[in-house]
Amino acid sequence: MDAGALDDLRSIVGPENLIVDEEELRHYARDASPMTGQVPTAAVRPSSIEEVQGIVRWANRTGTPLYVRSCGTSLWGAVPVRKDSVVVDMRRMNRVVAVDEGSLSVRVEPGITFFELERELASRGLSVMVEPENWHGCVGGNFSSHGSGWGTGPNMANQAEAVLGLKVVLPDGSLLTTGSMASPWSGRQFYRYSLANDLTGLFAGSEGTLGIIVELALRVEEAPGGVGLAVYTFDDLGDAADALYRIRRVRIPTIYAYLAAGWTLDILYPEKAPWSHRLRVIVAAPTEDQVRMEMGRLDAIAGARGKYQGPAEAERLVKEKDAWVREFAYKAGMRAALMVHVPLGSLGDYLRKFESLAAHVREVYGLRMGVGGFLTDRSFVSVIAIYFDPRDSDSRSRAIAAWNDVKVRALESGAVPYRIGGIWADQMPRMGEYYDFLRRLKSTLDPMGIMSPGILGL
């Protein structure tokens, strides 16, 4: 890229917000997955919608591919695919734009983390009621990659359904507003399904391929008044799976329900093996009385065939919840993670299939594979982790080969991907007419092909 083009880019964001140092740029070629992308030519850190528009118009003039990045915590290879690209780092756009208590909504910039947003809302007794896997992940990235959440209660939502409207810089540099604020007389984001087509949904899961999200409006609810904690163990994995299905069917208001297979715990904590299958649950409700009632309903289901582990174990759950995600990912070494949605009513069958897949990975690739997962509003997200030694190039190569093998087998078993990025990109053409339509849509909105080329297989 010639110096003049970089000077033009520097004039948009300021010299301190254009990164061209190669060592710094290597950071943008990696996320939290084992995949390594192309090192970009530059990275820019805009702080306003106008700066993002300027960057996109510059990319059109120069034909430069743009890749959008927020917190960089993805597990699915959300890294640059093309050389001579520029990464648009959205972390400076991390403000709360407006809290509209009358409309039960909040407008935020995409680089704000869930922790930062919840801290702001807590002072008003409100919550976005999306319980993310990672509190230090960014709201914009979670929405654009089809992030879900752990909650199943009536007021809980996955990330896409929690969003009321957007502001998006399109590939030509124009600004699109969706939701109720699309009406020039509204001025407020209070309802998503107004006007005509649901254009908000068009960008859910788009991972930067159709434009750059610069503002999101999320619905908020009254924060829960109390929580209840419980841990149950099961001798039979099918019984644990059935308990999760029943918990969702009767809509017990969980904000966390995580199931770990005993054979996975044997890998992570061999000193305490053999492990039973373990179900961890946090319930939230408006009042303490309602929490007690819901915990009684939970115990009637989970306690029928599972064993309650007592209050001391339950109290440790709050401290262990986030740590457990980290330990599942790293305790047995670096991991190549695959996450897939499976239907709740067939969860037991899928977990048995994944146990067979773990044996296959051990026999063919000489690596260990663990499985856990969490309840969402309508599915179970199975988290498949293939462990390897990151210092050993052969171990890494075998892990990536196993990763690609397992993803195909999981897909052909009927599971569907949870987030796409780079890892699933080569499988997208197998989706037939769905993929063909995405390609036509992409070419219509982005005829220059500058927005995240290669991501989602586009």
As given in the structure block, the two tokens for residue 205 are 């899961």
User: Is pLDDT above 80 for 121?
Assistant: yes
Considering only CA atoms, which of 185, 106, 94, 83 is closest in space to residue 140? 94
401-430 confidence digits (pLDDT tens): 999 999 999 999 999 998 877 788 899 999
- Judged by average pLDDT, the poorest of 130-139, 216-225, 241-250 is 130-139
44-57 confidence digits (pLDDT tens): 999 999 999 999 99
How much is the pLDDT for 155? Answer: 59
How much is the pLDDT for 402? Answer: 96
CATH topology of domain 96-222: 3.30.465
Residues 6+ apart with CB under 8 A from 185: none
Q: What whole-number distance in Å separates Cα of residue 322 and Cα of residue 324?
A: 5
139-196 confidence digits (pLDDT tens): 999 899 888 777 655 556 678 889 999 999 999 999 999 999 999 999 999 999 988 9
How much is the pLDDT for 51? Answer: 98
Mean pLDDT of 302-324: 80
* Level-2 CATH architecture, domain 3-91+448-453: 2-Layer Sandwich (3.30)
Q: What is the CA radius of gyration of the chain?
A: 22
- Judged by average pLDDT, the poorest of 140-149, 213-222, 445-454 is 140-149
User: Is pLDDT above 90 for 202?
Assistant: yes
41-70: b (≥16 Cβ within 10 Å) or e: bbbbbbbebebbbbbbebbbebebbbbbbb
Percent of the chain topping pLDDT 70: 93
Q: Where in the chain is the domain with CATH 3.40.462.10?
A: 226-417
Q: What whole-number distance in Å separates Cα of residue 277 and Cα of residue 351?
A: 11
How much is the pLDDT for 330? Answer: 56
316-350 confidence digits (pLDDT tens): 776 666 665 555 555 555 678 888 999 999 999 99
With beta carbons less than 8 A apart as the criterion, state whether 9 and 55 touch: yes
CATH number of 226-417: 3.40.462.10
pTM for the structure as a whole: 0.93
- Cα 413-415-419 angle, rounded to 5 deg: 140
Mean pLDDT of 17-42: 87
How much is the pLDDT for 255? Answer: 87
Average per-residue pLDDT in the chain?
Answer: 90
Q: How far is CA 294 from the centre of its chain?
A: 28
How much is the pLDDT for 80? Answer: 78
311 band by pLDDT with thresholds 50, 70 and 90: confident
Q: What whole-number distance in Å separates Cα of residue 95 and Cα of residue 31?
A: 23
Q: Where in the chain is the domain with CATH 3.30.465.10?
A: 96-222
How much is the pLDDT for 2? Answer: 83
Q: What whole-number distance in Å separates Cα of residue 399 and Cα of residue 388?
A: 6
With beta carbons less than 8 A apart as the criterion, state whether 406 and 44 touch: no
Mean pLDDT of 4-22: 95
Q: Where in the chain is the domain with CATH 3.30.43.10?
A: 3-91+448-453
Percent of the chain topping pLDDT 90: 72
